[in-house]
Each structure stands twice: as C-alpha cells, then as structure tokens.
DNA sequence: CGGACGACTGGCCACCCGGCCAGTTTCGCA
DNA sequence: TGCGAAACTGGCCGGGTGGCCAGTCGTCCG
C-alpha cells in the first residue's frame, strides 16, 4: 500500500468552535488517505470555520464611498482619487470622512484594514 | 441513528488545485457524520488550499520593521507606534521608510495592503 | 410641498507624513 | 581589527490628511 505515489493529504484545522473542531478531528482521524497536520507541519489544505457572527456585519456604504474605498486600498492619495473619479479633492475628503465614521477607523490605513477584515473589500 | 442531536457537518471546498480537490471530495464523500455542501448551501466549515506559489514571497523584513508594520496595520500613527515601542518618532519614520522601499509602496496604507496581499501580515 | 439624504464643492487650519540631510551605538562576521 | 548591517536619533520642510464650518443640487418619500 505504500507503493501509492500519492501520500496522505495533510489537513490542518483552524476552527473557532472547539466542539466542531473536536468532532472534525475525530471524524477525519479515521479516514484512510488523509491525516491531520502535526504541530508546525505544512498542510496541503486548511479547514477553516470562523465565527459566523462576524460576517453579517455588512456596513451600509454608498456606491461613491465604495469607489473611494477601493482606490484608497490601492494606496491612492486624495488628489489621485479626485482625478480618477473626476471630483474635487474636497469631495474625496468628504467621502473619506464618512468612511472613517462608518468603518469606525482612525485614519485611511485603519479604514482599509477594517474594510478588508469585514470583507467589504478584497485585497 | 437519526436520534443523534448533531447532524452531519457540512463542508465546502475552496481548492485551487483540481486534483487535490477531487481527491478530497472523494475521500470525504465516504465519511459518515459529514458531507459536502450543496451549491449555495452554507457550510459549517471550509477547506481551503490556495496556490502555494504566492506564499514563498517573503520579503526580508527585520524584526523591528515587522513590529512597526503590525502597528501600522492597526491604524496606529507614527506617534502611537513610537510610544508603543519606546522609540522616537524619528526612528519610526526611519522604519516606515524602509518598509515603503521593501514593500514597493507609496504610503503606509499601500504598505499595509501590499503586506496583507503577500501574507506578510494577517488582517 | 417640505424634509431627508446622497453627492458635490469651497475655505480654513492644526497636525501628520514622508523624504532629505546628518549623526551615534551595538552587534556579528570576515 | 575593521567593516557592514541594524537600530536608533535629530532637524528641516513641502505636501498630504482629517476635522470644522459653510453651501448647492437632485431625488425620493411622506
């Protein structure tokens, strides 16, 4: 059986819920052809289950705010965003201000980080 | 058997490698107590395996730069970073400057975004 | 019709940021 | 023993950022 050219698939677990993690570990431990990763071992794949309570938080952002946010995530300055969207720098600041409020951020960097964490934008 | 209070664990697959996805689907399909998610169904957990070629791009950052980067991702200003690490604002700027170079970023927001994309930091 | 809301614009200003110059100390390695 | 790398500090300054005030315009809704 060791002549198989494909070794066991190694899986690592990243589960918030301890009970679920336990059940999965038990179930998967008895499956031939795969095994769970040893501590520090590099896995072929990871089983993830984040706390679902975090996900439904989609903030109510207007289309324009999403436009500005996307450009912010690209590292664009207010001036560049203004040029890109054909609006004034003042308007960009206006939208950035709303973004900081809605995302509960202290600055544009924080805003992008929060947005990414909440899945509002994709890096 | 249906008296079990815990129904099957539902798993969804997000695997880049088609071969690996296929093997996993086959193996997991025969495990009692869990099943794969139907299209559109909400899963208890997700098995992920992203293309590993993206990961090895670990930029050579010093420990101090990693410290600064982590705080930057939290939205901290240079002043706050300085206080946190017990160094002067000038030194923080020094490290930030190196970070911008190494990460090929135009500003701290861009730097955090690049770092997150490359897996250097976790948001 | 009046009000609310989103998008947009302006001025003003304190503060922050990033880039430039310069310097010190400490450490490991050739 | 010397040399580079990392870490650290300072001054200076132009431009960026964010907060505050104010205002206009169009749309949708009660």
Contact B66, B93 (CB under 8 A): no
Query: Which residue in chain B has the smallest CA separation from A45?
Result: B49
Q: Which site among B36, B48, B111, B123 would you substitute to test the A interface, given the most A Cβ atoms closer than 10 Å to its Cβ?
A: B123
Q: Quick: pLDDT tens for A108-123.
A: 999 999 999 988 898 8
* Phi/psi at A15 (5° precision): -115, 130
Tell me the whole-structure pTM to 2 decimals.
0.79
Q: What is the mean pLDDT of residues A39-48?
A: 82
Those residues whose beta carbons lie under 7 A from strand D are: A 77-79, 93-94, 96-97, 100, 107-109; B 60, 62-65, 85, 87-91, 94-95, 107
d(CA B101, CA A69): 24
Q: Output the DSSP codes for A12-43.
A: EEEES-HHHHHHHHHHHHT-TTEEEPPTTPPP
- The set of strand D positions with any atom below 7 Å of a protein CB reads 6-11, 16-20, 22
Could you tell me the two tokens for B60? 């050579």
Beta strands per DSSP E along chain B: 9-15, 34-36, 45-49
B123 in contact with A, Cβ within 8 Å: yes
d(CA A33, CA B28): 10
Q: Quick: pLDDT tens for A69-108.
A: 999 999 999 999 999 999 999 999 999 999 999 999 999 9
Name which residue leads in pLDDT, B40 or B90.
B90
Q: Quick: pLDDT tens for A27-40.
A: 888 888 898 888 76
Q: What is the mean pLDDT of residues B58-85?
A: 94
């Amino acid at each position: 059986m060791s002549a198989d050219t494909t070794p066991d698939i190694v899986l690592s677990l990243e589960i918030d819920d301890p009970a679920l993690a336990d059940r999965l570990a038990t179930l998967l431990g008895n499956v031939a052809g795969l095994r769970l990763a040893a501590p520090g071992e590099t896995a072929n794949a990871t089983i993830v289950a984040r706390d679902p309570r975090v996900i439904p938080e989609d903030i109510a952002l207007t289309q324009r705010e999403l436009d500005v946010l996307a450009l912010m995530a690209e590292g664009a300055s207010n001036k560049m965003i203004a040029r890109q969207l054909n609006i004034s720098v003042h308007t960009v600041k206006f939208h950035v201000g709303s973004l900081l409020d809605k995302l509960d951020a202290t600055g544009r960097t924080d805003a992008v980080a929060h947005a990414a964490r909440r899945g509002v934008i994709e890096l």
